[in-house]
């Protein structure tokens, strides 16, 4: 009997989501990762297997998430990206991810 960790369960959730969510050049995947210290966002074209843009926050709280959402949207708009597919990476869509997504929408991204 193997021991399952929280990370194992998160990875399984992420794989389940990734079966259905894929980014293209016209509509890249906005992948969010949450570490112990910060949040990061990448805009990924899965067809070409390339990261178009990315940004990271200085902290992990809701305020840092709001700033990151605005900064990531600004970088995406500079690259000509307006429509994205949101990939929460198996993480719960709680306070921080909701703040990040809302601030990205306010900055002009559509998903």
Give the model confidence (pLDDT) of 23-36 as tens digits: 999 999 999 999 99
- In the chain, the number of structural domains is 1
Helix (H, G, I), strand (E, B) or coil at 53: strand
pTM of the predicted protein model: 0.89
Gap between the Cα atoms of 46 and 56, Å rounded: 20
Is 5 a residue whose pLDDT tops 60?
Answer: yes
End-to-end CA distance of the chain: 41
Domain of 28: which CATH number?
3.30.420.100
Q: How confident is the model at residue 1 (pLDDT cuts 50, 70, 90)?
A: low
Average pLDDT, the chain: 94
- Report the length, in residues, of the chain: 111
- For residue 1, being part of any structural domain is answered with no
Give the count of beta carbons closer than 10 Å to the beta carbon of residue 1.
3
How do strand 85-87 and strand 29-34 relate by DSSP bridges?
parallel
pLDDT of residue 70: 97
Q: 51 forms bridges with which residues in the sheet?
A: 44
In a domain, 111, yes or no: no
Considering the domain boundaries, does residue 37 fall inside one?
Answer: yes
Give pLDDT tens digits for 57-76.
999 999 999 999 999 999 99
Range of the domain at 102: 6-106
Q: Check if the beta carbon of residue 32 is closer than 8 Å to that of residue 87.
A: yes
């Amino acid at each position: 009997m193997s021991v399952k960790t929280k990370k194992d369960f998160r990875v399984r959730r992420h794989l389940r989501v990734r079966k259905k969510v894929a980014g293209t050049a016209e509509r890249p995947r906005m992948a969010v990762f949450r570490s112990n210290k910060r949040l990061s966002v990448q805009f990924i074209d899965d067809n070409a297997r390339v990261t178009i843009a990315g940004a990271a926050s200085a902290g992990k709280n809701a305020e840092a998430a709001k700033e990151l959402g605005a900064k990531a949207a600004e970088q995406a708009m500079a690259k000509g990206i307006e429509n994205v597919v949101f990939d929460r990476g198996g993480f719960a869509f709680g306070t921080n991810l909701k703040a990040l997504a809302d601030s990205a929408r306010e900055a002009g991204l559509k998903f």
